[in-house]
Copies of this chain bind each other. A is one copy, B any other.
């Protein structure tokens, strides 16, 4: 089994919320499950700890990282900064084909919005932001963005998505696409900052979902 695969699988387990934040990571159990010994598992845990998904306690094992409100705010701030940077860079480099792709993803997302399918809407939303980051043509940026968004997604939260907020988000996305098409980097950076600021406000208002709880009606996958 390749090292990277182990890291990926444990990351997936964490992102799926199978091990709730703050919970101990059962070394032996994961070994059995992944059919590996403790050595590669521990290597993977160290890597994930460096990524911020796992918390290592000396002589006390590893726990799934628990994110405080402050951590969340910090992550959103950085995410915002990275997206704004990506937007600016993307405007300099993005190809027409890439713009078309994002435009397609956008109208797809709007379709889900019209249908009221929040889950699919979020999926499309993520795809668009990821496409912009990719279009920036900067692998370093892609890596950091992936790390930050992974940690954000790790702390699954509920957003009380009111029709007004949702409409605003869609409108902002229209503006994002528009700025991209005009290749207006500065304008796009502005919009992206505002876009994430709104999102962040939602999150902080909503607080966090108890990961153990099953009473929540909506989770963002």
**A residues whose Cβ falls under 8 Å from a Cβ of B:** 2-3, 39, 42-44, 46-47, 49-52, 56, 58, 71, 74-75, 77-78, 80-82, 84-85, 89, 138-141, 143-144, 147-148, 151
Contacts and interface: CB of A to CB of B under 8 A. Distances in A.
A52 B3 contact: no
A90 to B, nearest CB: 12
A138 B85 contact: no
B85 A144 contact: no
Number of copies: 2
Contact of A42 (B43, B56, B140): B43
A7 to B, nearest CB: 8
Given A78-B85, A78-B140, A78-B141, 12 more contacts: A3-B56, A42-B43, A46-B46, A50-B50, A50-B51, A74-B138, A77-B85, A77-B140, A80-B85, A81-B84, A140-B148, A140-B151
A141 B81 CA distance: 10
Contacts of A52: 140, 143
A16 B141 CA distance: 25
A103 B3 CA distance: 47
A128 to B, nearest CB: 19
